[in-house]
Structure 1
Amino acid sequence: MPFTTTPLEGLLIFEPRVFEDSRGYFFEAYNKSQFEAEGLQYNFVQDNQSFSGYGVVRGLHYQQNPHAQCKLVRALAGRILDVAVDIRKNSPTYGQVFSIELTAGNKKQLLIPAGFAHGFSVLSETAVVMYKCDALYNKESEGGIIYNDPELAIDWQLPEGTAIVSDKDLVLPTLKACNNNF
């Protein structure tokens, strides 16, 4: 079974079956019928890709309903700590954090449903991250949570004071102060 559950309902780790031989490897990074066989009905409509250097922290981001996004995240090159925060107000795991190391080598992916804030830190010299989205980007529905919210206490696995964060992300609110309609 390529899907592993996490302590946060709906948040899944996807490990594709990898075929390796003397030439290298091959795997299906996404197969709609395989996801549907697990009851996962997503229509991915947008792929996003980023390149970042060591210490970059992107996030924590989400889009409000009705433009909320499910994301399927993976590292194409390098190593990241991928982080999801449950922001569904009626969820028994509201405010809980889940993190996983995604690497080009381990080929793991994180399926993050709507209702989660998402971010990552780059743990290698550089990283290329790609993620599929089931809704298009909508600027008016953007939301976010400050990466260093003391109540979330996320360990980004970076030495103190080395995080590189955009000006936009540095002014995001805490989870308690963020506006979301989940």
Structure 2
Amino acid sequence: MDDMLKDLTSASLPTVALVRDLSEEELALPTPCAAFDVRGLLTHLEWVAETFESMAAKGPRPEQGEYTGDFPERMGRTLTAWSEPAAWEGESSIGMPVAATVNLLLVDLIVHGWDLAAATGRSYQPDGQAVERALAFTRQMAPMGRERGAFGDEVEVPGDATDLDRLLGVTGRDPAWTP
């Protein structure tokens, strides 16, 4: 729990900083996540944060709503909810142990943080340990992620690629993407 909570916290920081720095004009920009423009991606991140906050409290899975602009606050509540030891017990609604399911949040924070940075031309430096953990998990889950439409076909990256670029490639993103 402690290492994962540390990784979730460190992964959330650069993504929250990016979100706080966005302007209204940037909300319509395209992102590397083909299904979303920046506003749609933020809406998704708000829902992900709310979903994991509810999961920590053993609550129901919320419906995805409209963009509200409160991702930083939601993420703060989510991290607080996961600081409770009871949050890590049991199975999630997708049939995995909760402790394993939390890796999905970690991957979303890092990959969608990169999506936002790439879409807006900003720098993005996620924590290396968090990226390593997300990459190891994603490599294991990639076949199921592709079956469920969460990941695209793997994008080949150079042998000397960073762990972040490897993570992006496994999820179907081209690390060289530009708008």
TM-score by length of 2: 0.27
TM-score (normalizing by structure 1): 0.27
Question: Looking at both structures, which has the greater relative contact order when contacts are Cα pairs under 8 Å and sequence separation is at least 6?
Answer: 1
Bigger Rg, which one: 1
The structure richer in strand per residue is: 1
